[in-house]
Structure 1
Amino acid sequence: MILRNEGVSLDYYQQNTDYESRSLDGTKENSIFPKDSSIRIWYNELNVDYPTHWHNALEIIVPIENYYDIDVDGEPHRVMPGDIFFIPPRKSHALHAPKSGQRYVCLFDIDFFSNVRGYSGLITMLKDCIHITPDTFAPVYNEVYDLFSQIWNEYFQKTEFYEFSIYSHLFQIMTILSRFNLNRMQLFTDSTPVKRREYFDRLNNAIDYIDENYANDITLDDAAAFSGFSKFHFSRLFKEYMNCTFYDYLIGRRIKATEILLTRDDLSITDIALQAGFSSISTFNRTFKLKKGCTPGEYRTLFSGGLGKEKGDVSEKA
């Protein structure tokens, strides 16, 4: 199908002719990107549903005509035409299409973003879905939507260096959304520009410190001392900046590490718990179930294509 998007002819099918069928390992979807690429964009007009699945990519869905229903971790979302919906990597989700309609489905590998300073703040922003509407994100909506339009044009025209261009637009989008969130925080609205910059740098230094040392026995005192703030001041600033306490972030960082390790079959659950910084297997099991709603063993079975119990898996006994 060839359509015109703002005066530009776009061939929506030619770019994805390499695709044959979905590849599922349990509920994990594999091989979603073209060969030697880390981007896949569909102009989707199918009236079919996609059962619960997950993948390592960031998925962004933008309905063009008619709504689209999305369940993420069992929570339903109705996304209307013009809305922009972010599904974080490794989030379990299902898609439900109306009888007719069109939407863009964009898939990006963003794991390499972890090498960029400020990544922790981005991942914190992406820990949950982001539902952008013209009303809720009014100050930045038009700019963000325009950047997505440029991404679609680049992808379906397949111009020279189109992946570089697409990722540059995606970085812009993430920057806009991150700054939009910062501007809504009291911490940054009540301070001078110089003080805001100082707070931003010192907090990000502390987050980098936590990210590099989460597997060690670090404490609130350690992080506060590293940031140069008093313990009390650091706790208040950190919670406002990250929307969680230091200990919540530390535990979340450890849990995130175990989610990735649990998809491997060469490590026991005990080894994974200790590698991620948990002091005991019982603490890990209790914390994991509280945060994820299932035991590490159940998670491994669900997200690793049904590997089942491994040696050292004592999650059901602790």
Structure 2
Amino acid sequence: MNPWHEKIALKTNHPLKIIVSSLEEGFPTHWHQEIEIIYVLDGHMQIGINDVLYSLSTGDLLFVGSCELHHYLPNPLGCRKIILQLGKPIFDAYSDLVFGHRFVMPHLIAGSEISIDSGESLHGIIERHIVALYQEWETREAGHELVTKARINDIAAFMIRHLPMEAYSLQERTKRLEQLERLDNVLKYIESDYGSEITLQSAAEVAGFSVTYFSRFFKEATGSTFVEYVNSFRANIAMLLLTNNEESVTEIAYRSGFNSIETFNRVFKKVNGCTPTAIRSKK
């Protein structure tokens, strides 16, 4: 399941990936070692980080820390955005100042007044570098890779110097990674078996927890109940099928794991903000 159109993938010794997309079909809860920076070019979108939901508008920036659970909510109207994924080596000897930390203020709103030494806002500076980075790679003039690396280094330096962060304790970090490994098994289970019956009991067994503990653990980790997550995942699958498949709405409902059309229509509208037939009529 990959709704993102990967327009840019910089293959240098810097572990950087840039994704540019106008689609907003949603992306289920996931995590990775890289830090992610989202910049909204145009439109609106919602992103959940752990148990907090952020609403982003044009010009907003959002920082997702290493190993943080996050998911993208679908938006039928679409949203143009730039997503930067930065690996540890970009920060070189300073990586410990960023990785293993949580962002205290992950959401920088366009026009925010958080100023730094130069008098310019932190948002304005990082926005300027992201836009310049993208323009360099679009035009690809001679020396563009050198300029791209420079802009990435500028972004990294301003994050280290001015973006509020606090360190996880070693105990917190160890516990978090253990939880993520268990949760990862459950998320993979849902992704592979969403078309079949998935129960709280079976998921708890995959995680190696009791049903009671797993239910609480899943809610704390993802911000939603297990049933809500499975329904949302299935609704996202249905959205992809409706836009890329000629099967009937009824066939897609059952293929996505819903056992009744009534439930499918209700969940789909709640998750995607419109009915399945409205999506199909746009084709």
Which TM-score applies when normalising by structure 1? Answer: 0.47
Matched, 1:242 2:225: no
SS at match of 1:262: helix
Q: 2:281 aligns with which of 294, 301, 306?
A: 301
Distance 2:61 2:135 in 1: 14
Q: Which moved more, 1:146-155 or 1:198-207?
A: 146-155
Question: Map of 1:171-210 to 2, 5 A cutoff?
Answer: 191-210=171-190
Alignment match, 1:213 = 193
Q: 1:55 aligns with which of 9, 12, 23?
A: 23
C-alpha root-mean-square deviation of aligned residues, in Å? 4.8
1:142/1:224 Cα in 2 relative to 1: closer, same or farther (>3 Å)? farther
Instruction: Show CA shifts across 1:124-157 (max 9, x none).
Output: xxxxxx9533679x9x979965873544434433
Matched, 1:91 2:75: yes
Distance 1:285 1:191 in 2: 44
1:77/1:277 Cα in 2 relative to 1: closer, same or farther (>3 Å)? closer
Q: Which amino acid aligns with 1:274?
A: Y
1:191/1:106 Cα in 2 relative to 1: closer, same or farther (>3 Å)? same
Q: 1:157 aligns with which of 128, 133, 140?
A: 140
SS at match of 1:211: helix
Higher Rg = 1
* Post-superposition offset of 1:271: 0.8
In structure 2, the gaps of 5 or more residues are 10-21, 27-37, 47-54, 64-71, 86-105, 117-121
Matched, 1:288 2:257: no
Q: Which amino acid aligns with 1:156?
A: T
Distance 2:56 2:174 in 1: 40
Instruction: Show CA shifts across 1:221-245 (max 9, x none).
Output: 1111101122122222211221111
Which TM-score applies when normalising by structure 2? Answer: 0.52
Q: Could you tell me whether the CA contact under 8 Å between 1:79 and 1:85 is conserved in 2?
A: no
Distance 1:89 1:244 in 2: 13
Distance 2:143 2:188 in 1: 35
Distance 2:187 2:123 in 1: 29
Alignment match, 1:313 = none
Distance 2:108 2:279 in 1: 30
Structure showing greater relative contact order (alpha-carbon pairs closer than 8 Å, 6 or more residues apart): 2
